Amino acid sequence: MAQAVSSLFPGAKYAIGPAIEDGFYYDFDIGRPFTPEDLDAIDAKMREIIAEQQKFEHEALTREEGLKRFADQPFKVEIIKGVEASEGGGETVSVFRNDGWEDLCLGPHVEHTGLIPAFKLMRVAGAYWRGDEHNPMLQRIYGTAWESQEALEQHLHMLEEAERRDHRKLGRELDLYSWADEVGPGLALWHPKGALVRKTLEDLSREMHLQFGYQPVFTPHLGRSMLWEVSGHLGYYRENMFPAMKAEDGGEYIAKPMNCPFHILIYRSRTRSYRDLPIRLSELG
């Protein structure tokens, strides 16, 4: 894809293009956003490159050679200067070349471009270089590639079905819940219809827990920071927890990330016998 973009947009700056779970992406700077027509042209150029069965060749360069080779590509220069392990590691720079075009890459690669049987460019999104908002905004093209056209079509069908079942889409269309910027991301406002669905599911959950011997309990949504220090949550997950709230007594209280520390305190609240075991406690939320 980067080869196609470089061919169609002289002077294009290309950054990184890793494989991801369902395909790949590449970040570019062409001085403007890509248009749908641009994607069509890139797609066509990629198919030309595939049809030519261009052979891939590997070369290991020194850092100095790499800096000279990619002198007109500022993002590559930054990568080489950083000597990032993901882009070559050590004092060498790993480069793959095909038909006169080259890029930094650890590989491995297929033998030639003709061994890429099925792909599709999916969408374009903005992305800051290295994920830092103080860096330039680049254009990220997402794509997916599969071992056969049939596998690609199956994947695209799965994505279509997933979109149809997207809870954000269904929640809005069925008037189940909504979100508001004033509340915060991921914090749903349950509408009457959605609240009824939620209550029905919660009632079923409580009923099944009782059937399997669980006893319902309720615990606070907050706890002193010392509790989360003892449980290990602060030591391992502090960056993923809500910040502490200062109380008038000088203590710090934190929204609970889990119920289990509270349930352990319930168990510890009185002397127990092995005859009491097993003890099964359940709590929603």
Q: If you write DSSP's letter for every residue of 55-72 in order, what string do you get?
A: BPEEEEEEHHHHHHHTTT
- Model's pTM, two decimal places? 0.67
Q: How far is CA 133 from CA 128, 129, 136, 230, 244, in A?
A: 6, 8, 8, 36, 27
Between CA 147 and CA 145 the distance in angstroms is 7
Over residues 76-83, mean pLDDT: 86
Q: Give the length of the chain.
A: 285
d(CA 148, CA 50): 14
- Residue 106 located in a structural domain: yes
Query: Per the domain annotation, does 41 fall within a domain?
Result: yes
pLDDT bucket at 86, cuts 50 / 70 / 90: very low
Separation of alpha carbons 23 and 109, rounded Å: 15
Say yes or no to pLDDT of 88 above 80. no
Q: What pLDDT score does 229 carry?
A: 94
- Tell me the C-alpha distance between 19 and 201, whole Å: 39
**Residues 189-208: tens digit of each pLDDT:** 999 999 999 999 999 999 99
At 39, which CATH number? 3.30.980.10
- Residue 87's pLDDT band, with cuts at 50, 70 and 90, is very low
Do 30 and 136 lie in one domain? The reply is yes
Mean pLDDT, to the nearest integer, of 109-113?
93
Instruction: Give residue for tokens 């008038």.
Output: 248
How many domains are contained in the chain?
Answer: 3
- pLDDT value of residue 122: 96
Asked if 263 and 186 sit in the same domain, the reply is no
Q: Which domain holds residue 224?
A: 214-282
Q: Quick one: pLDDT band at residue 90, thresholds 50, 70, 90?
A: low
Q: Is residue 107 part of a domain?
A: yes
- Asked if residues 142 and 125 have their Cβ atoms less than 8 Å apart, the reply is yes
Residue 175 counted as domain residue: yes
pLDDT(85) > 50: no
Q: What does the CA dihedral 202, 204, 209, 211 come to, rounded to 10 degrees?
A: 160
pLDDT digits (tens, 9 = 90+) for 213-246: 999 999 999 999 999 999 999 999 998 999 999 9
Do residues 269 and 241 share a domain? yes
